[in-house]
């Protein structure tokens, strides 16, 4: 005989395990040349940031700039 509380906890854990890790975020996998990677690492290091965080900020900043530019037009 199973315990209903245990079954509820197990069901909740299964639901959490199958949900995306970040709501309203998507993961990109990018293939970039090695030279570009090392330049990103250098640029991020100057700001004491992880290179992936730096790349994300650059990409988001570019998209926001384009959206602002289009909104002003």
φ and ψ at residue 20, rounded to 5 degrees: -60, 150
Could you tell me if residue 52 is inside a domain? Answer: yes
**Quick check: 73 and 63 in contact, CB under 8 A?**
no
Could you tell me if residue 12 is inside a domain? Answer: no
CB-count burial class (<10 Å; 0-12, 13-18, 19+) for 55: buried
**Structural domain boundaries, residue 30:** 24-72
Q: Is the pLDDT of residue 1 over 60?
A: no
* pLDDT at residue 59, rounded to an integer: 93
pLDDT band at 25 (very low <50, low <70, confident <90, very high): confident
φ and ψ at residue 2, rounded to 5 degrees: -90, 155
* pLDDT at residue 22, rounded to an integer: 59
Could you tell me if residue 8 is inside a domain? Answer: no
Q: Is the pLDDT of residue 39 over 90?
A: yes
Q: How many domains does the chain have?
A: 1
């Amino acid at each position: 005989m199973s315990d209903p509380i245990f079954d509820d906890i197990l069901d909740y854990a299964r639901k959490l395990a199958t949900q995306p890790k970040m709501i309203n975020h998507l993961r990109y996998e990018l293939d970039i040349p090695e030279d570009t990677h090392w330049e990103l690492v250098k640029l991020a290091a100057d700001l004491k940031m992880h290179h992936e965080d730096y790349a994300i900020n650059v990409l988001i900043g570019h998209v926001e700039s384009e959206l602002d530019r289009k909104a002003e037009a």
